[in-house]
Amino acid sequence: MNMTRPPEHRMRHTMIAGLLALGVVGAAFGADSAAHTATPNTLDPQDRMTTPGLVTSQQAEYRRQRARWQADQVPKGLPKAREPAQARDSHAPEVGIEVRDVDYEIADGIGFHVSSLRGALVPEHTGDPVDFDNPDSYHIHIYTGRVTLSPAQLDALFNRYVLTYAPRALSSVSNDTSNDTLTVHVGARLFAFLPPVGGLPTTLAGPVRVTDDNRLAYTPSRVENFGIPIGGLLSRVGLSLATLTPLDRPGVTLKNNTLFMDPETLFPAPRLVIDRIDDVALSRDGLTLTFSSPAGQPDFEAPPVDTESYIWLQSGDARFFNTVLVNARLLLMNEDSKRLHFHLYHYRAQTAAGRINGLADGTLVARVPNTFDTHDDAPKRTDNAAPKH
């Protein structure tokens, strides 16, 4: 009799034997695992440590930092926040500003050198951020400081801003300053139209004083036409400079023989709000104004980067480029640690030509050049501006 089993019987027995073998191995493995469970791993202690997820760690760190980012940073002496700071609104009504040793140019050579200044940028509409793109939307409240207008800056102010109207009584203004004396060379048109072109070459010289209503008063002690003194003649015939050359413009008014200048409205926007002009001084450097306030001097933190020339924004909300800096901490300085020449109306081009770094405390540090290309060139596409196919 042939006892050879069919192939299917041999396969069935083989599978059964295999399953029995697996069962034995599994039992042995289970016993070994139970033994290891009872005995802690001593080879690598970190295997027994619980490691939080990456996102959890990041958020925990940000929660610790957020307390510092959203802390009350309003300098002592400035209006406090209306309520606690939030992610999108610090609720501080103003942006504190401190400036030291900066050539501040509004536009086209108009501006002044700031030796020191402490104050605030104040939005015209409560609750709005200070918008650097719209200088009419805020004003600069000066508490304390000292600024100097050089003769060239005085020329630019009058020729490119104050006297840009027609018909105008004065043209081609040129200023010289010396100790206690401002000398002005100007083309004067009698009654604002004679002669119709240019003007009579006129020289005025005299001191500048501060009035009780916080204006500057310039009363020439010497008046000449074509180099010939005419002040005495005008007085004898009962004429004044205002009669011959009438001038009444925003920030500047000629009354009798005195030119009154109001620094709050004399410059292009943003307008200035000045609590008190303590002193005006004339020297070879120019016309220097010293400011103070009955409220005292705001107390700012020292900038987080060591520099002798800077603009430091502390607290409040400011729109810089298209980004709103909430609870602002922004330091502007020269990229080579030289004296900063800041161009307000071209701040975008100036900042784009430099670099911005962020610090752990939330401060942005903008290191910018003093000279740069102000042309608004169209953005250039790069190789990675569009997906490659």
DSSP conformation class of 337? S
Q: Do 79 and 73 touch, CB atoms closer than 8 A?
A: no
User: Are residues 143 and 159 both part of a single domain?
Assistant: no
Strand pairing category for 286-292 and 310-314: unpaired
What's the token pair of residue 305?
Answer: 């980067």
Return the pLDDT at 385: 40
User: Are residues 198 and 232 both part of a single domain?
Assistant: yes
Judge whether 288 lies within some domain: no
Please state, rounded to an integer, the average pLDDT across all residues of the chain: 84
Backbone φ and ψ of 326, nearest 5°: -90, 135
User: Are residues 264 and 337 both part of a single domain?
Assistant: no
Q: Do 181 and 173 touch, CB atoms closer than 8 A?
A: no
User: Are residues 141 and 162 both part of a single domain?
Assistant: no
Residue 167, preceding peptide bond in cis (omega within 30° of 0): yes
User: Are residues 235 and 176 both part of a single domain?
Assistant: yes
- Of 60-64, 107-111, 361-365, least confident by mean pLDDT is 60-64
User: Are residues 234 and 315 both part of a single domain?
Assistant: no
pLDDT grade for 230, boundaries at 50, 70 and 90 = confident
pLDDT grade for 45, boundaries at 50, 70 and 90 = low
Residue with tokens 């005085």: 154
* Residue 324 burial (C-beta neighbours within 10 Å; 0-12, 13-18, 19+): middle
Please state, in angstroms and rounded to a whole number, the distance separating the CA atoms of residues 116 and 96: 14
pLDDT in tens, 175-228: 999 999 999 999 987 765 555 555 789 999 999 999 999 999 999 999 998 787
Asked if residue 69 has pLDDT above 60, the reply is yes
* Residues of the domain holding 140: 88-148+295-368
pTM of the model: 0.79
Q: Is 155 helix (H, G, I), strand (E, B) or coil?
A: helix
Q: Smallest Cα–Cα separation from 217: which of 184, 254, 185?
A: 254
User: Are residues 104 and 164 both part of a single domain?
Assistant: no
Q: CA of 93: how far to CAs of 23, 121, 292, 315, 318, in Å?
A: 77, 9, 21, 9, 11
- Of residues 120 and 193, more confidence is placed in 120
Residue 261's H or E segment, with its range, is strand 258-261
Please state, in angstroms and rounded to a whole number, the distance separating the CA atoms of residues 122 and 30: 74
- Of residues 243 and 282, more confidence is placed in 282
What's the token pair of residue 323?
Answer: 């980004």
CA angle 263, 180, 107 (to 5 degrees): 35
Judge whether 355 lies within some domain: yes
Backbone φ and ψ of 335, nearest 5°: -65, -20
> What percent of the chain clears pLDDT 70, i.e. is strictly above it?
77
Asked if residue 12 has pLDDT above 80, the reply is no
Judge whether 43 lies within some domain: no
Identify the bridge partners of residue 286 per DSSP, sorted by sequence position: 283
Q: Is 356 helix (H, G, I), strand (E, B) or coil?
A: strand
Judge whether 123 lies within some domain: yes
Return the pLDDT at 49: 56
Return the pLDDT at 234: 67
Please state, in angstroms and rounded to a whole number, the distance separating the CA atoms of residues 332 and 323: 16
Judge whether 80 lies within some domain: no
User: Are residues 181 and 232 both part of a single domain?
Assistant: yes
Judge whether 384 lies within some domain: no
Judge whether 24 lies within some domain: no
pLDDT in tens, 358-389: 998 889 999 999 999 987 544 443 343 444 44
pLDDT grade for 29, boundaries at 50, 70 and 90 = very low
Judge whether 251 lies within some domain: yes
What's the token pair of residue 264?
Answer: 């709050």
Q: How is 183-209 classified by DSSP, letter by letter?
A: EEEEEE-BTTTBSSSS-EEEEEEE-EE
Identify the bridge partners of residue 254 per DSSP, sorted by sequence position: 259
> What percent of the chain clears pLDDT 90, i.e. is strictly above it?
61
Q: Do 333 and 309 touch, CB atoms closer than 8 A?
A: yes
CA angle 46, 51, 54 (to 5 degrees): 140
User: Are residues 227 and 194 both part of a single domain?
Assistant: yes
- Of residues 167 and 223, more confidence is placed in 223
- Stretch 281-301: mean pLDDT, rounded? 97
Q: Do 106 and 326 touch, CB atoms closer than 8 A?
A: no
User: Are residues 230 and 332 both part of a single domain?
Assistant: no
- Stretch 79-90: mean pLDDT, rounded? 81
- Of 28-32, 41-45, 69-73, least confident by mean pLDDT is 28-32
Q: Which amino acid is at 168?
A: R
Return the pLDDT at 376: 54
DSSP conformation class of 162? I
Total domains, the chain: 2
User: Are residues 304 and 362 both part of a single domain?
Assistant: yes
User: Are residues 128 and 155 both part of a single domain?
Assistant: no
Q: Which amino acid is at 83?
A: E
